[in-house]
Amino acid sequence: MTVDPRQLQEAVARFVRAFGLHQPGQTPCGRPIPVSEAHALAELAREGELRQAELVHRLRLEKSTTSRIVAQLTGRGWAERDRAPDDGRGVLVRLTPAGRAAAEQLAAARQTRFESALSRIPEVERESVLHALSLLTEAVDES
């Protein structure tokens, strides 16, 4: 079966809309926080603290965009910045207790959303779905 690139484009667009990724002011699980901030919270919660430069890399965003996200998280009282002890120019970012609580709430909402989606996929198809998403991610990364 030949697949036209437009079919992939339409399938991805339907997925983006169905998952709510086209609504930048809230997460796909319906939380009133920009998706980019939610991703930053998740990375910081996973690692404890990160250099801002590493956060740029992990989020795949520009330095200025990541800096703005960190400033927003700091403004919400969810993160704090410090100079990196081994590099005067480096900036470490870590979550505050309020940020950890926000990250935990987001993680719980995300877990619920993914459990719900996964439960609607026939069990015999689940590995295929994960494999297809991995292949698509790798293909996009390489292009």
Mean pLDDT, to the nearest integer, of 103-112?
Answer: 93
Confidence of residue 105 (pLDDT cuts 50, 70, 90): very high
pTM comes to 0.84
Contacts by 54-57, CB closer than 8 A, 24 or more apart: 55/93
> Helices in 60-123 by DSSP H: which ranges?
63-75, 97-119
Q: Where are the domains of the chain?
A: 19-114
Backbone region of residue 60 per phi and psi (left: phi > 0; alpha: psi in -120 to 50; beta: other values): left
Confidence of residue 95 (pLDDT cuts 50, 70, 90): very high
Q: Quick one: CATH architecture of 19-114?
A: Orthogonal Bundle (1.10)
Decide if pLDDT at 130 tops 80.
yes
Per-residue pLDDT tens over the stretch 34-92:
989 999 999 999 998 999 999 999 999 999 999 999 999 999 999 999 998 877 778 99
